[in-house]
């Protein structure tokens, strides 16, 4: 399927990380989603009920990002499972979860994981 809805560069301040300091101080995280879903009916009806309300998707991501986790994989997995549960008509969901300025020795802008369900 080629139809998709994208939510790009959702930015959150959260407390994810293995290191104790990350859990206390927090960091900025960027979430990008791509939702593969049939958009053809909505293209005909102009009715929100025939598509995916991306405001609802944003609220799911926001709620899951507020729950501290050690691993980005854990956060991303929760987001994917929650969206899929709430919107079973979505065929595939892709997520990229980025942590800005991860705590490593050296110069690095960000670290990211990508998953899909």
Of the residues 20, 84, 85, 99, only one is catalytic, namely 99
- Comparing CA positions, the residue from 114, 108, 89, 110 lying closest to residue 100 is 110
Asked if 99 is an active-site residue, the reply is yes
Beta strand extents in the chain (DSSP E only): 4-14, 27-36, 92-100, 110-116
Beta carbons within 8 Å of 116's beta carbon, 6+ residues apart: 80, 92, 93, 94, 95
Q: Which strands sit side by side in the sheet containing 27-36, from one edge to the other?
A: 4-14, 27-36, 92-100, 110-116
Active site residues per annotation: 99
């Amino acid at each position: 399927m080629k139809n998709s809805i994208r939510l790009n560069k959702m930015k959150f301040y959260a407390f994810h990380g293995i290191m104790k300091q990350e859990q206390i101080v927090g960091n900025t995280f960027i979430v990008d989603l791509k939702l593969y879903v049939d958009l053809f009916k909505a293209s005909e009806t102009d009715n929100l009920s025939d598509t995916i309300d991306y405001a609802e998707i944003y609220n799911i991501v926001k709620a899951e990002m507020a729950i501290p986790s050690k691993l980005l994989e854990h956060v991303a997995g929760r987001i994917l499972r929650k969206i899929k549960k709430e919107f079973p008509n979505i065929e595939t969901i892709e997520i990229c979860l980025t942590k800005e300025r991860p705590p490593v020795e050296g110069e690095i802008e960000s670290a990211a994981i990508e998953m899909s369900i």
